[in-house]
Structure 1
Amino acid sequence: DPEWLSESDADRARDLAASCLVSIPSGSLPDLRRQDWLEPYVLFEIYRRRMSEGDTDRALLVRSELDRLYPGFLDRMSPSDSMIPPERAYIAVLLPMTGDGSVYAAQIEKGISMAFQRSADLLPQCPERVLFDTRGGVDGLIEAAAQLASDPRCIAVLGPMTSRETAEIAGIASAGGLPFLSPSATSSEIDRMGDFVHRLVPGGTDEAVVMAEVAVRDSGCTRLAILHSYTQASVSQAEQFAATVTRMGAQVVATRGFNVEDTDFKDQIIAIRAQRPDGIFLPVTAWEAVQIAPQLRFYSLDVPMFGTSGWDSDVVLRLGGEAVEGAVFTAAFGTGSLYPPTARFVFNFRRQFSEEPTLLAAQGYDAAGMILTAWSSGCRTRQSLEDFLKELDHYDGASGRSTVGARTETRASWPLVRITGGEALGVE
């Protein structure tokens, strides 16, 4: 019994017990359980093997018994709580690189690889990226996830790809204390599966609501006007903007529309100017914006302009000139986006792969960026990475402004761009 030994001899005895148990056949382990100091080590070895075999349900039963009989023992032994030297730690990428879904997985993996290459240039000790192919099947997924959960060198996993796959590994993630972050799972059910199971959620709240908040709360406008086209999307955004402005205690003093083929907006602008607004909402395309903005100035309606993601195009910078100076609008992922993180990602992706990036590639890049940001801030264990993900408010990346899981913060849903000095700058 280690209680009868010196501290150094007791440590040797424990290490010897743990190393010997590894070589004992699984069928013989239960016979070694005795009500003495060896029992928790036997239980831990049984738990570790069942996790590595993918037998999550039975592993959780053993874990519960271990916690009940020996509180705190698992915390001392669990790989999730041990500090692995930075040069040995790795982050796994768990995707179906062959089989069903491989085309989409390849896009995600390209984004992830870009994020790691960038971090390798910036961080003195960047964790290794190790790719695990699930082969498009559940069996390969479970096998790989269990292997990663039992490997103390693995401190986080980027994947799986789909919501169904993420649900399949939820028990393994929780039992192993290993954070999984899916770049592309979409089901909100994942957000209720407990700790260590996460998904990246790109912005989804209506952008007209966000712009109303920007106009009223941030810019201090109280008398707003709206100029929209007679398209379903533009009319819908105008209505949502007006409803939000009213709810926030400000006024919409004028609303005017135009046909998509119109190029002369004199009548609408003069009618709006008569109501003396202090800001104008323009839910229009980039081509429409660069025609409307100069006419606003020509007819002496010089007020702040607020737009939607239709503005997010280099057309605004190339053709808008001084007329669009100061305009604020939402940004959405696209290869022509003006949003700085997206534009940088698109440029680097084209240069590296000689092809156009997809939204999935951007989401893979951002999910990896979240994990690597945590690593660079000193999160080097599974638990510290998990805490970082749970506390992360939002992340501004290539796919826009994202969150980990569903969040209720409206403003965290869309990145913003402001035209300043002829350049498109991100708005914090």
Structure 2
Amino acid sequence: MKKSKVLIGLVLLMSALGLAAQEQIVIQQDEQAEQIFAEGVIFYRNRDYAAANEQFARLIEPGRGHQRLSAALIMHARTSYLLRDYKAVEQDLRRLIRYFPESRYIPHARYLMALVHFQRADYFQSARQFLWLVDFSDDDRIAAESLTSARVLLDEYLSLDDVKKLQRDTAGKNGLALVVLAEARKLMQEREAGAAAELISEFLEKNAGSTLEKELRAALDRTKEALREVTRIGVILPLTGAYATEGKAMLDGLRYAEDEFKRNNPSGPAFEFVVRDSESRIIKALQEMQALVADPRVICVVGEFENFITAALAGLADAHDLPLLAPVATDVGIAGLGSSVFQLSPDLETQARALARYAVDSLQLKTFVTIAPQDEYGRQMVDAFSAEIDSRTRTDSTSIVTQRWYYGVPENIGRQFKEIREIAFKKVMEDTLRERHPEFVGLDRDSLWTALNEAIMLENNTREGIVELNSHFPVTNIDGVFMPIYAEDVRYLARQLTYFNLKTQILGGEYWYLNNLDKLRELQRYVDGTIFVSSYYYDPTSLAYIAFRDAYRKARGRTPERWELTGYDAARAVLHTLEKGAASRKQVREILAGGEKIKGRANLIHLDPRTRTNTEVNILKIDRTVIRKVDTPDGG
């Protein structure tokens, strides 16, 4: 053992035990001590550790110096450890170092201290002690056991950052080799095969003759082989079950993007899509995700289709630092579940706020009402739209006049429309009186409203008030009605909006993206001019789309529509990271979080580095039988 290394080890151990200086003790021959020690050893061998501990405790009483003191200290420490009295272990080892700094029991002391650190869950310090013993213990058995223990700690208990710190702290060649092997394994798990190969190669160049050299060279071969392996990209989609049609269409678009990329980049990075069927079930999706997470060759996953399944996958993916690219999910907060989660579609809050800004800034609308289904989709859209309008109240005098909700199929929600009419007419009355009568605040508004209705009924010779006289009195003081409703609900609400004579701009959400408008002639006059927000848009008459469509038809034998284009765009986002050199989960995450714009076919993907959600939306307008994209101030 090198004396300088032993001294370094003693300094570390003394520091761990809180020792400041050495102290001498007078050793005298003591026959009674020999007998007591022998009795203690017998109890120890018979596994009566409490009795053994009592015997050894008699030998280490303060001020008692004899030929068995160092052995008694280490044996009392051992039995105290077995009895889980870790404080006593520390006290014994502290005295051993103080009295006998060059004792042959020092390696035993360090081994015990490593075990105490482990029991206290201080795995870093435990590994530090074991690594020292690997190289500098005179006891081959302790060195071998320390090597095994250090390997377990490095692989199972310590993070990559902890292992890197140990590399700087470890002095011995074989202990350092263990650290390098562990760091390389962890880098391989992060898909950092290049960094792992460089680390091992550098160690071998500087540290020839390590007893672990054969293992190091085998690890180096594995890293080189990994560099030649095909990168895997997981895909979880509903290929059977309730959403099989949509899932299969998305997979077809993804496959087309894969073929296109490989055709255009024959010498590009080797990769493959590993496709798994969620069967439209959350449990199956999670099972497939677990398998992908466990495969170190998988650098990211694309999936799923439904919001709640995507959210479940997001939690699992982020727990293992595996990037998840959600191509469809729009619920607010999914990307917020972890730094490895990316929403390729703008979430509902982003969409609703963008529409509200357009309504105020470009359409110059001031007053709004909302009508929406009483569910999660309707609530998220209305909350975000209203929040944006409320934030503009001071600068733009905007306001939400009222909000109305419905359940189920809105075949007849006349009550809600009558309430809107009444609120609107009361607002006209109050605004008029406020301008003409300074004392308006003190007036009885209910009485005024009753008087107004009586006058109208008398004038029109009818028993119906202004609210019921739809054809006679249109509502003109509501600038916009925001209706984030489902496609199947449009025919009910659009007609009733006209029937109740609300002269207002219709604003909607993505489900207003009505297919085959040319065949819905009866509905056209009710929805014409509607402006709505969408996460996707493609112009079927544009030359760019026609060229893409024809190439797609030739290659895949089908026409690309919404879900094919969505799958294509998701693939393009992944392939963008490969083009940038991504070969690990970490690199995929860093590139996606970089904020670069990725051009897709259904939408531009521009992930906010902070929220990891796509910020690009499409403001669209129904123009008779065609859906057109409108110009926005930000060029969207």
Determine if contact 1:307/1:330 at 8 Å carries over to the other structure. yes
Give secondary structure in 1 for the equivalent of 2:620: strand
CA distance in 1, matches of 2:273, 2:266: 22
Residue 212 of structure 1 aligns to a residue whose secondary structure is helix
Q: TM-score, normalised by structure 2?
A: 0.39
Which of 470, 475, 486 matches 1:272?
475
Q: What CA deviation, in whole Å up to 9, does each residue of 1:339-359 have, x standing for no partner?
A: 328997999699947699897
Structure 2 distance, partners of 1:124, 1:269, is 70
Q: For the residues of structure 1 that align with 2:378 and 2:261, how far apart are their CA atoms?
A: 44
Q: What corresponds to 1:116 in structure 2?
A: 258
Instruction: Name 2:594's counterpart in structure 1.
Output: 391
Contact 2:327 2:345 in 1 (8 A): no
Greater RCO (CA < 8 Å, at least 6 residues apart):
1
Q: Distance in 2 between matches of 1:288 and 1:106?
A: 30
Alignment of 1:348-363 (within 5 A): 352=556
1:93 aligns with 2:250: no
Check the 8 A contact 1:325/1:420 in 2, yes or no: yes
Structure (1 or 2) with the greater strand fraction: 1
- Residue 441 (structure 2) aligns with: none
Deviations 1:138-170 (A, max 9, x none): 998767655534xxxx7x332576666665565
Q: Secondary structure at the match of 1:373?
A: helix
CA distance in 2, matches of 1:410, 1:133: 24
Q: Which runs of 5+ in 2 are unaligned?
A: 1-130, 137-146, 169-179, 196-223, 278-283, 415-467, 631-635
- 1:67 is aligned to 164
* Max Rg structure: 2
In 2: Cα distance, 1:325 partner to 1:245 partner:
24
Contact 2:254 2:568 in 1 (8 A): yes
Residue 399 of structure 2 corresponds to 251
The 5-angstrom pairing of residues 11-410 of structure 1 reads: 58=155, 61=158, 63-64=160-161, 66-70=163-167, 80=192, 82=194, 90-94=230-234, 107=248, 109-120=251-262, 127-132=269-274, 145=293, 147-149=295-297, 156-159=299-302, 173=321, 179=323, 181=325, 191=336, 197-200=340-343, 202-205=345-348, 210-222=354-366, 224-226=367-369, 244-249=388-393, 250-252=398-400, 260=411, 267=470, 270-273=473-476, 275=477, 279=480, 281=482, 285-287=489-491, 305-316=506-517, 319=521, 327-331=530-534, 339-340=537-538, 352=556, 364-376=567-579, 378-382=580-584, 384-392=587-595
TM-score, normalised to structure 1, is: 0.52
Give the 3-state SS of the residue equivalent to 1:424 in structure 2.
strand
- Which ranges in structure 1 are unaligned for 5 or more consecutive residues? 1-29, 36-45, 334-338
Counterparts in 2 of 1:139 and 1:291: CA distance versus 1, 3 Å: closer
1:67 to partner: Cα distance: 1.0
- SS across alignment from 1:330: strand
Paired residue type of 1:215 = A
1:234-283 Cα distance to aligned partner (Å, 9 max, x none): 997779756753442113579999984699x993795223x3x6555455
Change (3 A) 1:168 1:34: farther
CA distance in 2, matches of 1:193, 1:393: 20
Go from structure 1 to structure 2 and tell me whether the alpha carbon gap of 1:267 and 1:113 turns closer, same or farther (over 3 Å shift): same
Q: SS state of the match for residue 267, structure 1? A: coil
* 1:327–1:370 Cα change, 3 Å: same
Instruction: Classify the secondary structure of the residue corresponding to 1:313.
Output: coil
Percent identity of the aligned residues? 14
Q: CA deviation at 1:313?
A: 0.3
CA shift, 1:130, in A, is 1.7
Residue 365 of structure 2 aligns to a residue in which SS?
A: coil
Paired residues of 2:374 and 2:405 also in contact (CA < 8 A) = no
From the two aligned structures, give the one with the greater helix fraction. 2
1:351-372 per-position Cα deviation (integer Å, ceiling 9, x unaligned): 947699897x776544322112
Deviation at 1:110, TM superposition (A): 4.0
Distance 1:295 1:398, change over 3 A: farther
* Aligned partners of 1:254 and 1:272 also within 8 Å: no
Q: Distance in 1 between matches of 2:612 and 2:258?
A: 29
> SS where residue 475 of structure 2 aligns?
helix
SS in 2 for 1:117: helix
Please report how far the alpha carbon of residue 392 of structure 1 lies from its aligned counterpart in structure 2 after TM superposition.
Answer: 3.7
Offset of 1:61 from its aligned partner? 2.7
Q: Which secondary structure does the structure 1 equivalent of 2:593 belong to?
A: helix
Decide whether the 8 Å contact of 2:494 with 2:527 is kept in 1.
yes
Greater Cα offset, 206-215 or 248-257: 248-257
- Partners of 1:112 and 1:295 in 2: how far apart? 45
Q: Is the 8 A contact 2:507 2:531 kept in 1?
A: yes
Q: What residue in structure 2 maps to residue 7 of structure 1?
A: none
**What's the secondary structure of 2:576's corresponding residue?**
helix
1:277-312 deviation line (CA, Å, top 9, x unaligned): 65554556544687689999xx996x7542233421
Contact kept, 8 Å, 1:324 with 1:419, in 2: the verdict is yes
Q: Cα distance, 1:389 vs. partner?
A: 1.4
**Count of aligned residue pairs for this structure pair:** 351
State the alpha-carbon separation in 2 of the partners of residues 95 and 201 from structure 1: 15
CA distance in 1, matches of 2:382, 2:335: 33
Partner of 1:418: 621
